[in-house]
Structure 1
Amino acid sequence: MTLVFGMLLDALLGEPKWLWSRIPHPAVLMGRLIGWCDDSFNTGDRKRLMGILTIAGLCIAAAILGWIIQLAPGYLLDVIVLAVLLAQKSLVDHVQAVGDALRLSLGDGRRSVAMIVGRDTKDMDGTAVARSAIESAAENLSDGVIAPIFWFALAGVPGLLIYKITNTADSMIGYRTPKHADFGWGAAKLDDLLNLVPARLTAVLIWTVTGRPYPKPIIADAPLHRSLNAGWPEAAMAHGLDIALSGPRSYDGKIKDYPFVNEDGERSLGPDDIDRAVAVLWKTWRLTLGLAFVLATIVRIL
C-alpha cells in the first residue's frame, strides 16, 4: 500500500511552501548536482563519453541512496519520498493557475503560462496560452506522475530516484544546443528509454477516462509530435478533448512549424478547455490510484 499512501499524500499536500521555503526540495538538490557535473565534466574532446559516464554515475548514486532509504524500518520513509517526488497536486495547481489568470486578462495568462513552458510567450494570443497549458498538462502528467509511479511500482525507491535524476538531467542538459548536444546525449537517450512505457501507458489512461471509443487516431497522431514520447499523452489529450494541440510555436524568436496533433480538432481554445484538461488530470489520477490499490491487494494475497 506504499504506492497508494504516497499518491494520496501528494494529492493532499502537494508542495507546501512553508517547507520548501526553508529547506531545498530534493529536485533542487538534484539540479544543483547536475549543474556541478555540467560545469566540471562538460569539457575537452570527449564530451559524449563524459556525459555517458556522468549520467551512469548519477544513476548508480541514486540507486544506492534508494537502497539505503529502503533499509529504514517500516514504509513511512518510502511513502514520504514518493509523495515528495510526485507532482500531481503541483501540476494541477500550475495548470489551473493559467486558466484562472487567462480569465483575468491575456497578460496575466501569458505571465502564468511562462512559468510552466519554455517557448516564447510575449506574443501569444489566448488560444496559444490555453494550448500551451494543456500540452504541459499532458506531458507532465506522464513525466511527473505516471512515470515516477511506474518506476516506483517496478523497482521501489531506487527505481524512482534513478528516473527522477535522469529526467532532471534531461531537462537541464538534454537539449541539442552547442553546449549540450554531446554531453547531454546520454541523459537524453536514457530519459527516452525510461519514458517509453510510461508515456504510452499515460495515453492509455487518458483514452480510458475520456471515453473515446477508438484509439487508432491516437496511434496515428502520436508520431507527428517532435518528441518520441510526449506525443502519446498529448495525442490522447487532444483526441480526448477533441482539440488541436502542438502546431507552430516560437522558441528564442524563431518560429518552429510543427504539425498539429488532431488537426481537425477545435483550435480556438480558452480557460474552459484548461478546466477540462485539469478534470482529465484528476480522472487519470483516480484511475491510477484504483489500479495501484488493486495491484497492492493482489500482491498481499499472493
Structure 2
Amino acid sequence: MRRNRAEAAGLAIGAVADAAFGDPRRGHPVALFGSAVARLERRVYADARPAGAVFAGGWIAVAVAVGALARRTGPAGTAAATFTALGGTSLCRIGDDIAGALESGDVDRARRLVSGLVGRDPDLLDESGICRAAVESIAENTSDAAIAPLLWGAVAGAPGLLGYRAVNTLDAMIGYRSDRYRNFGWAAARIDDAANLAPARMTAVAAALVSGRPVTVWRAVRRDAGAHPSPNAGVVETAFAAALGIELGGRTVYPHGVEDRPRLGDGRAPLASDLRAAVVLSRRIQRLSAVVAVAVRLAVGRQLR
C-alpha cells in the first residue's frame, strides 16, 4: 500500500512537472534512448521478423528494468519516470505554434513546425493540409504521449511508464511499412498496437465527455474508425474529428508512398481555429486523465491490501 501511495504521488508530481515545463530541449532521456537504439540497429539489423522481435523485446526489457530501479527510489523515481514518459505539453505547444504561424500568414514556418509532428512531406502541404496533419497528430499523440503513459503508470507504476515509452519510441523509429522495416519493424509495430488498444479507446471516451458531444463522437467512431489502417489511430482521430465538427483523413503522402486514408467525421476541412480547438481539447483530456490515473493507482493499492 505504501508503494502505491508513493507511486500515485510520483504520477501526480510528474504530470504537474510536464504541464509546467514540457520536454527539455536538450538531453531528453527519450532522445538518448532513441540514439542508443539507432546505433545498435545499424550493427544488428537483419531483414527478418525474428531479428526485429528480439531487438524490440530487448530494448523494452531494458526500459522496464530501469523503471523498476526508479520505483525503488520512491516518489522521486516515479515522478522522473512520469516526466520522462509524458509529452503532451510539448505536443500542445507545437500545435499552438503552428496555428499562430498560419494565422500570421507564415506558411513556410508552419510547414517547418509540422514536420516535427508528422512523417509527411511538408512541402506538399497547403494550409488546409497542414491543419489536417497537425490535428491528426495531436489526436493520435494525445493518446500515445499522454493517456497511454498515464494508463500504464496507473496499472504498473514506473516500469509501466518507461516500458510503454520504449514501445512507442521503437514503433516511431522502426515500425514503418517501408522496404527496410517491413520485416524488422513488424514486431515493434504490433507491440505498439497492443499497448495502445485501451489508451486509444479511453482517449475517445474522454474526448466525447470533455467536448460535450458524446452521442456524436460515439456514432462517428462506430461508423468510421474501423476503416482506418491503424486499429488505434482511427479511433482517436475520428473522436477528435467528431468532437470538433470537422473531417479528417484523405490522401496522405509519406516518404515510403501515398496512402488514401478514409474520411473520418462529418464537416469541413480543418482550419487554424480548429487546430487551436484541438489543442484545447487535448489539454482538457490530459488533465482529466492525470487525475484518473492517480486515483486508479491509489485504488490498486487498496485492492492489493
Taking structure 1 as the reference length, what is the TM-score of the superposition?
Answer: 0.91
Please provide the CA RMSD for this pair: 1.8
Q: Which structure exhibits the higher relative contact order, with contacts defined as CA atoms closer than 8 Å and separated by 6 or more residues?
A: 2
Residue identity in the other structure for 2:282: L
User: What runs of 5+ residues in structure 1 fail to find an aligned partner?
Assistant: none
The answer to whether the 8 Å contact 1:120/1:253 transfers is no
Q: What are the Cα deviations for residues 165-212 of structure 1, in whole angstroms up to 9, with x where unaligned?
A: 111111111111221111111111111111111111111111110111
What does residue range 138-157 of structure 1 map to in structure 2 within 5 Å?
Answer: 138-157=139-158
Q: What are the Cα deviations for residues 127-172 of structure 1, in whole angstroms up to 9, with x where unaligned?
A: 1111111111000001100011111111111111111111111111
SS of 1:226's equivalent in the other structure is coil
1:58 maps to which residue? 59
Taking the aligned partners of 2:154 and 2:286, their CA distance within structure 1 comes to 15
Taking the aligned partners of 2:228 and 2:166, their CA distance within structure 1 comes to 25
Taking the aligned partners of 1:253 and 1:54, their CA distance within structure 2 comes to 23
Runs of 4+ in structure 1 over 6 Å off: none
Taking the aligned partners of 1:94 and 1:285, their CA distance within structure 2 comes to 16
Taking the aligned partners of 1:289 and 1:190, their CA distance within structure 2 comes to 24
User: What runs of 5+ residues in structure 2 fail to find an aligned partner?
Assistant: 1-8
1:15 maps to which residue? 23
The answer to whether the 8 Å contact 1:10/1:87 transfers is yes
Q: 1:225 to 1:83 in 2, by over 3 A?
A: same
Q: 1:177 to 1:69 in 2, by over 3 A?
A: same
2:88 maps to which residue? 88
1:137 maps to which residue? 138
What does residue range 245-256 of structure 1 map to in structure 2 within 5 Å?
Answer: 245-252=248-255, 255-256=258-259
Taking the aligned partners of 1:62 and 1:77, their CA distance within structure 2 comes to 14
Q: How far 1:55 moved relative to its partner? A: 1.4
Taking the aligned partners of 1:197 and 1:117, their CA distance within structure 2 comes to 23
2:10 maps to which residue? 2
SS of 1:249's equivalent in the other structure is strand
Aligned partner of 1:265 among 248, 267, 272? 267
Taking the aligned partners of 1:124 and 1:221, their CA distance within structure 2 comes to 24
- Say whether residues 1:26 and 2:17 are aligned partners: no
Q: 1:253 to 1:104 in 2, by over 3 A?
A: farther
1:174 maps to which residue? 175
User: Which has the larger share of helix?
Assistant: 2
1:164 maps to which residue? 165
The answer to whether the 8 Å contact 2:111/2:130 transfers is yes
The answer to whether the 8 Å contact 1:82/1:157 transfers is yes
Percentage of matched positions with identical amino acids: 36
The answer to whether the 8 Å contact 1:41/1:51 transfers is no
Aligned partner of 1:234 among 232, 237, 253? 237
SS of 2:230's equivalent in the other structure is coil
Residue correspondences, number: 292
